[in-house]
Structure 1
């Protein structure tokens, strides 16, 4: 059974005055829980027999693709002199440090020190290796307890492989705590920010439900006037004629991921589906990398989507740029004030903050 914030506030012992609730911990000081699969690179950025640098919450990671095609993830520091292994060279199935050619297997163990002689000091065992998997054109690592990796599923993105949809991939650095992005996507009351792109949109919250690790909200969107970018009409499946419609948008935070489905009026399936995650980069987690998969339904005439693709990309980049401007401004305010002073009144956002606190880890 799910409940929202007002249910939890109202619940208590009969006749008992709960008194003022204690102030919750500052969400911007809560870190992302590492015991999940997080993308840290696009698959195409890790070329065969190539190396790429990645990061999760201040932990530097060296990704390399062996001759066999398998991707491995190692701590990005050679056990010898701490030189980044991401500067190294792939040699078959191993990664050699660029400095003294120490060779590492995919499990992080040292397989060879070229000049090691009998009587030399005993070498170290190696470096940390991260569980790694590839899916959806992304390289995922498991930065937490490696014993939990096998039992923790990758995020489920069924539309990615569906012939009904074509996928647009996003990969952008955003200079803010990841929680600001969760709030931004869930709180569709900020459409005034995008007035120059989508015209006048009237969002109406139809309802929402929350649980220990998730919150799902449904909105009814109605276009009430103003100039609307043609790509917005195409994404809402209004067609080239741009006939107005009302769309139902369902947005869900399922920690630590987010999804969005948009179902146009009279449709029985989403015209577009979004999957997103915000991966912290620095140790203080004030910078994150946003990865997104936007799956757009193919029209009856497939060539029409190919023609429209660059325009849809431009439209989505413009919307994202406006959102990034807002959330980075929120982060700057937090940095200047040293605490979270915003005064949120929307119960949905207060609920998602509770979920992010409960499932995250203190910094």
Structure 2
């Protein structure tokens, strides 16, 4: 072997000190694990004997509510000519394709092909049926292995429906990878972004814990100046700008996220937030954020009802600023083709590991795709955007 051949061979050998493969290390190329219950629609949007189109990670899903009131979830294509079943007609507990009138049961099996006689050969299978449940005013589907659905619990939200709390529901499309949303809520060091809404807040990290599936952080919030938002005070029982110190606990427990705020000297949270970020397109660069904000009722009857529109306006302003930031982060990733963030906060480094360890690899086509406009991400979100 010549010196040139030897040098070429050595260069081809892997080095212990080479940088990791960006495709493996980049969290934005990790998909959401489908073996969990994910909300895909507000219950009120799935009307009686009507069909609603939605998606999970590029999988088109048709939701329909039968005559009994039960919701069913089917793969959104007819097995015959691939026409979307979301264009179809509900008849009792079946969904009939609008094109050739093939009818499907709630589990996806074909119940009738009207122009075939009994005994004629039929396709052995229909379309995929998804396990589906309704809870907390949301429709959840289980897009993973259906054999695991029964043993996988829905999120437990004791404050929902409690006479002590009233719930505000959110449903918004955000053009970013779901991991940006987890990082945004968990990292409270971005309060400068919201200074025009809540004034100047100082978040102090009191500590955090992490394991294989979760990260939980506790912050102490104090108001240090600037204009105090009255709606924030109403939301937090005079916390977050009302002159008191508040303890905020934020938890990512894969794949969901929660936030509790307890004002100074209070026994219970003034509000509790539960959120899920559901990938919409196959590239998972757009997600649909579902949120349940459970607000404690004050001692004065009717006060929360009067404050309700002001609280919603306040929370919408905060969410709009957060959405602006995370969508800008996603655009930077799209332009650069990789994650070039220089993250220094140990808490966020740990939550990234949780999301990476519990996620799944994106499909090869999705991982190799450029911006969503080059694939079909923008088109796939049309169905869920109508839920906002």
Q: Same fold (TM over 0.5)?
A: yes
Unpaired segments ≥5 residues, structure 2: 1-15, 363-388
Corresponding residue for residue 255 of structure 2: 256
SS in structure 2 at match of 1:184:
helix
Question: Within 2, Cα distance between the matches of 1:111 and 1:122?
Answer: 10
Q: Which residues of 2 match residues 269-284 of structure 1 at below 5 A?
A: 269-284=268-283
Unpaired segments ≥5 residues, structure 1: 1-17
Question: Within 2, Cα distance between the matches of 1:317 and 1:325?
Answer: 12
Question: Within 1, Cα distance between the matches of 2:118 and 2:96?
Answer: 21
Corresponding residue for residue 216 of structure 1: 216
> For the aligned residues, what is the CA RMSD?
1.6
Corresponding residue for residue 207 of structure 1: 207
Question: Within 1, Cα distance between the matches of 2:109 and 2:261?
Answer: 47
Q: CA deviation at 1:172?
A: 0.2
Q: CA deviation at 1:122?
A: 3.1
TM value normalised by structure 2: 0.86
Corresponding residue for residue 44 of structure 1: 44
Corresponding residue for residue 8 of structure 2: none
Corresponding residue for residue 65 of structure 1: 65
SS in structure 2 at match of 1:302:
coil
Corresponding residue for residue 179 of structure 2: 179
Residue-by-residue CA offset, 1:239-267 (whole Å, 9 max, x unaligned) = 8xx74100000000000000000000000
Question: Within 2, Cα distance between the matches of 1:329 and 1:122?
Answer: 51
Residue-by-residue CA offset, 1:209-257 (whole Å, 9 max, x unaligned) = 0000000000000011100211111112118xx7410000000000000
Question: Within 2, Cα distance between the matches of 1:212 and 1:279?
Answer: 21
Q: Alpha carbons of 1:177 and 1:186: their partners in 2 closer, same or farther (altered >3 Å)?
A: same
Q: Which residues of 2 match residues 1-363 of structure 1 at below 5 A?
A: 25-117=25-117, 121-238=121-238, 243-363=242-362
SS in structure 2 at match of 1:212:
coil
Corresponding residue for residue 380 of structure 2: none
Question: Within 1, Cα distance between the matches of 2:263 and 2:158?
Answer: 20
Q: CA deviation at 1:124?
A: 4.2
Q: CA deviation at 1:161?
A: 1.6
Residue-by-residue CA offset, 1:119-169 (whole Å, 9 max, x unaligned) = 855334210000000000000000000000000000111110211000000
SS in structure 2 at match of 1:55:
strand
Q: Is the 8 A contact 1:64 1:72 kept in 2?
A: yes
Question: Within 2, Cα distance between the matches of 1:213 and 1:21?
Answer: 26
Question: Within 2, Cα distance between the matches of 1:50 and 1:174?
Answer: 26
Q: Is the 8 A contact 2:39 2:290 kept in 1?
A: yes
Corresponding residue for residue 9 of structure 1: none
Q: CA deviation at 1:66?
A: 0.3
